[in-house]
A and B are shown apart, each in its own frame.
Chain A
Amino acid sequence: AQSVSQHNHHVILSEAASLELGCNYSYGGTVNLFWYVQYPGQHLQLLLKYFSGDPLVKGIKGFEAEFIKSKFSFNLRKPSVQWSDTAEYFCAVSDRGSTLGRLYFGRGTQLTVWP
């Protein structure tokens, strides 16, 4: 079975700091990769996804992620965070040949941004 590791459980930053959240997965086959965000009291929202092509993926709200196949990684980045980015971030993986909704999630990283 696949597994997804998110290295940091809780990250605390000041506004304007740069962000990088780590995500590694274990699976030998071809994968689709996702980052979701959950703001307090809200549903999970898709930030960005990678299916194929350019390994540098740009998402909403200034987020981007880079797929490094050799490292089985899909780290999330943002050059300058805002207070409104305070949320929980989930990395997820699916088998390319599997159904879209069969996702394997990491345990999440809580990001707190101080104004």
Chain B
Amino acid sequence: NAGVMQNPRHLVRRRGQEARLRCSPMKGHSHVYWYRQLPEEGLKFMVYLQKENIIDESGMPKERFSAEFPKEGPSILRIQQVVRGDSAAYFCASSYRDRGPGNTIYFGEGSWLTVV
């Protein structure tokens, strides 16, 4: 029973490089969410996607960050021209439906980005 799979688990980038984080949702899940956890802070919502659609990107920084969830393949969180402040843990979650008490979102193990 594969859960939400994220890779890479750890990524080191130099300032100015690009970072790509991948997330494969649980089987049958079509709703994907990305969260960021900065040091000493709780998880902060970034973006909610369904297949080929961005539904809510209210938590995404306005520049350098983008996300997609193509028809085929994993969801990608892309950070261009990384800066030290982007160093954080990035968590992906998925769900079968997007609301209702019988539904739950499931988290991946996170991708730790370090910018040097």
| A residues neighboring B (CB under 8 Å) | 4, 6, 32, 36, 41-46, 49, 51-52, 90, 92, 98-108
Known: A43-B4, A43-B110. A100 touches B99 (CB 8 A): yes
Report whether A108 and B56 are in contact in the complex, using a CB–CB cutoff of 8 Å. Answer: no
| Alpha-carbon gap, A32 to B95, bound state (A) | 16
Report whether B105 and A100 are in contact in the complex, using a CB–CB cutoff of 8 Å. Answer: yes
Report whether A101 and B42 are in contact in the complex, using a CB–CB cutoff of 8 Å. Answer: no
Which of chain A's residues have a CB closer than 8 A to the CB of B70? none
Report whether B45 and A108 are in contact in the complex, using a CB–CB cutoff of 8 Å. Answer: no
Report whether B43 and A105 are in contact in the complex, using a CB–CB cutoff of 8 Å. Answer: yes
Report whether B98 and A99 are in contact in the complex, using a CB–CB cutoff of 8 Å. Answer: yes
Report whether A107 and B44 are in contact in the complex, using a CB–CB cutoff of 8 Å. Answer: no
Most A-side CB within 10 Å, residue of B3, B42, B48: B42
Which 8 A/B pairs are nearest by Cβ-Cβ distance? A101-B33, A51-B101, A105-B42, A44-B107, A107-B42, A105-B43, A43-B109, A99-B98
User: Looking across the interface, which residue of chain B has its beta carbon closest to that of A1?
Assistant: B58
Report whether A43 and B103 are in contact in the complex, using a CB–CB cutoff of 8 Å. Answer: no
- Determine how close the nearest CB of chain A comes to the CB of B12; give it in whole angstroms: 18
Residue contacts A-B, CB under 8 angstroms, 16 given: A41-B109, A43-B91, A43-B107, A44-B43, A51-B101, A90-B42, A92-B43, A98-B99, A99-B98, A100-B97, A100-B100, A102-B33, A102-B45, A103-B43, A105-B44, A107-B40
Which of chain B's residues have a CB closer than 8 A to the CB of A107? 40-42
- Determine how close the nearest CB of chain B comes to the CB of A56; give it in whole angstroms: 16
B22 is an interface residue with CB less than 8 A from chain A = no
| Alpha-carbon gap, A47 to B21, bound state (A) | 27
In addition to A4-B42, A51-B101, A101-B95, 6 A-B residue pairs with Cβ atoms within 8 Å of each other are A41-B109, A45-B107, A99-B55, A99-B98, A100-B95, A101-B93
Report whether A101 and B98 are in contact in the complex, using a CB–CB cutoff of 8 Å. Answer: yes
Which of chain B's residues have a CB closer than 8 A to the CB of A92? 43
| Alpha-carbon gap, A102 to B44, bound state (A) | 9
Report whether B56 and A102 are in contact in the complex, using a CB–CB cutoff of 8 Å. Answer: yes
Which of chain A's residues have a CB closer than 8 A to the CB of B108? 43
Which of chain B's residues have a CB closer than 8 A to the CB of A108? 42
